[in-house]
Chains A and B, each alone.
Chain A
Amino acid sequence: MNTKKNGFGLLAKQRAAGWAFLTPATLLIFVMSFYPMVQAFIMSLKTGSSANMQWGSPITYNYARMFQDKLFQRSIGNTFLYLIIEVPIMLIFAVLLAQLLNEKHLKFKGFFRTCVFLPCATSLVSYALIFKSLFATQGLINTVLVSLGIFHENYNFLGTPASAKAVIIIALIWRWTGYNMVFYLAGLQNIEYSVYEAAKIDGATGWKTFWYVTVPLLKPVIVMTFIMSINGTLQLFDESVNLTKGGPANTTITMSHYIYNNSFDGVANFGYACAMSFVVFIMVAILAAINMKVGDTRD
């Protein structure tokens, strides 16, 4: 940096400007997120109905309770299952689609882009209804599978734990791949074309260009989508509520769904819900930190 020419005052001015730019956003996050979080943490140490809460005795009562809560443990298992299977598949498809759609010579680009994005713009209600009716015992998927002779009789996809989980994963991939594609596409657009030209001159093939040029340049975006997907999946709520209601017999319930049930569904146990929220929080934070460490190096 050419500090000599600009002088010392200008540098200080720049630094002040940097801080000024991020102040409004930072303040808002402190007031709108951290302050409520602190309050939620205090509540996680209390028990009783939410209008009249008492300090837990011992103070860690709600946290200790989790170790005995089979349903909460099951919800952790389910959520991680969704995470491990769904996120990699979804992100690979998203990068692939973004790469295809970024091809200069591709025709009908706008049409394809819109189609791929459509699922996440579709309202949750219709998407849940559609998946439920597609996978219903008398639904389209069953009809097709039976008439093809793959199944002998109609199968109750949403009424059987293993297949209900599979349906949730399929639904997640369907809905969110296009969403992630948008980020990759935006990321690809920020890469200068000259970089590709240079690679071409160096004789790199399509695959090599993708792997050695595109992926490294896209890394910041990849890290971001990973964090976002991990966060989104660990806080998964909509699909569990709308597709299976956590059923059959709570075998597909997610952590956030269970927390929501504890905070608002009937017998509100808000202190316990807050305590579970903080456990989720810690899990996400650890995973995100690992992600940042692995992928977020400035070179």
Chain B
Amino acid sequence: MTETKFKKNKSAIQRRLIPSYIFLTFWSLISVFPLYWMITAATNTTVEVARGKIWFGTNAANNFHTLISQNDLWGSMVNSFKYSIVQTLLCLFVCSLAGFGFELYHDKTKDKLFAFLLLAMMVPQVATMIPLFRMASGMKILNSVWGFILPSISTPFMIMMFRQNSRNFPVDIMEAARMDGLNEIEIFFRMYLPVMKSTYAAAAVITFMNAWNSYLWPKVVMLDNSAQTMPMLIANLAAGYTVDYGVLMMGVLFCSIPTMVIFFILQKQFAEGITGAVK
């Protein structure tokens, strides 16, 4: 292929992609607008926010000062990070192991068991909250990281995600590996894990985000101020007889940054371009 031909080819491809660019730009604008609004609102006073001002203001420093002087922002951030990271790591490990087991060692019994486990995600959370609370209080894990994560370490959804995505895992690799003398757990760590990295990355994003944003259950088990998470802090800012929207949005901004950063970092892992997905 000569240089010129290659270039021509390239620009033809880009021309073909114009509708894609238009559509993606349009979708991105709609998606980003609320984020933009959130950032501008964090720089305005509450009256300006309530009146729908959508341009940057000059109250950012004040809002930030009010936020950190009246709330334990850093403490809540640390808590949220602690709970979310522990939950993500444990959940990924336990669920991918199960997904691996269910799909690549599948037989009739395991398929039935899996279908049965799926039932667990279909009961509204509200119904199991009180029995779970009773359990957590009996186990003395209220206000601790365990109380936060235990109900969500193993979720049918995550198992399903790994199981479904394992469908495309090349089984012959396993056979080859066995013949090379790898045992089953080695196959998991050395073959499955690297191949499934895009699934791991997606699962990590989703689990971290769910853990970070979860509110109903933490609200029930995290009774002490010092165990407070970011969504709880935001909820405290958003309620009351008088809400200061500038401060609230400043808090929301802090609450939103980590999930976005995590996504930004991990997306490369699960969407780096087609080549190199399976090696």
Contact = CB atoms under 8 A, between A and B. Distances in A.
Q: Do chains A and B touch in the complex (CB under 8 A)?
A: yes
Interface of A: 1-2, 6, 10, 13-15, 17-22, 24-29, 32-37, 39-40, 43, 50, 97, 100-107, 109-127, 129-130, 133, 138-140, 174, 178-179, 182-183, 185-193, 196, 217, 220-221, 223-224, 227-228, 231, 235, 255-256, 259-260, 263-264, 270, 273-274, 277-278, 280-281, 284-285, 288-289, 292, 298
Nearest to A120: B209
A22 B206 CA distance: 21
A189 B277 CA distance: 6
A29 B277 contact: no
Interface string B243-279: 0010011001001100110011001101101110110
Nearest to B168: A190
Interface of B (DSSP majority class): helix
A33 B271 contact: no
A259 B122 CA distance: 14
A14 B105 contact: yes
B1 interface: no
B164 A223 contact: yes
A186 B202 contact: yes
A185 B156 contact: no
Contacts of A192: 168, 277-278
A124 B213 contact: yes
A255 B125 CA distance: 12
23 contacts: A20-B101, A24-B97, A32-B153, A33-B121, A33-B156, A37-B123, A39-B131, A40-B123, A104-B275, A109-B273, A115-B32, A117-B267, A121-B263, A122-B35, A129-B245, A183-B161, A189-B274, A190-B165, A192-B278, A193-B274, A220-B168, A235-B125, A259-B127
B128 to A, nearest CB: 4
A110 B268 contact: yes
B270 A186 contact: yes
Given A126-B252, A130-B38, A189 B123 contact: no
A102 B274 contact: yes
A120 B164 CA distance: 22
A126 B120 contact: no
Contacts of B206: 179, 182
A210 B83 CA distance: 40
A26 B20 contact: no
Interface in B118-151: 118-132, 135, 150-151
Contact of B126 (A189, A193, A273): A273
Nearest to A143: B52
Contact of A100 (B23, B100, B184, B215): B23
Contact of B188 (A21, A185, A224): A21
A133 B52 contact: yes
Given A182-B205, A193-B274, A263-B126, A18 B263 contact: no
A234 to B, nearest CB: 8
Given A25-B98, A260-B126, A190 B199 contact: yes
A115 B23 CA distance: 12
B37 interface: yes
B267 A113 contact: yes
A187 B198 CA distance: 8
Interface string B178-203: 10000111001000000010110110
Contact of B101 (A21, A27, A43, A264): A21
Contacts of A112: 24, 28
A244 to B, nearest CB: 16
B124 A281 contact: yes
B67 to A, nearest CB: 14
In this complex, the member of B122, B168, B205, B267 whose beta carbon has the largest number of chain A beta carbons within 10 angstroms is: B122
B234 A109 contact: no
Contacts of B37: 126, 130
Nearest to A177: B27
B95 interface: yes
B274 A123 contact: no
Contact of B164 (A36, A224, A259): A224
B5 to A, nearest CB: 16
A138 B132 CA distance: 44
B209 to A, nearest CB: 6
B156 A29 contact: yes
B214 to A, nearest CB: 10
Contact of A114 (B125, B245, B267): B267
A292 B160 CA distance: 12
A185 B270 contact: yes
Nearest to B254: A123
B97 to A, nearest CB: 5
B89 interface: no
Contacts of A256: 124, 126
A20 B178 CA distance: 18
A193 B275 contact: yes
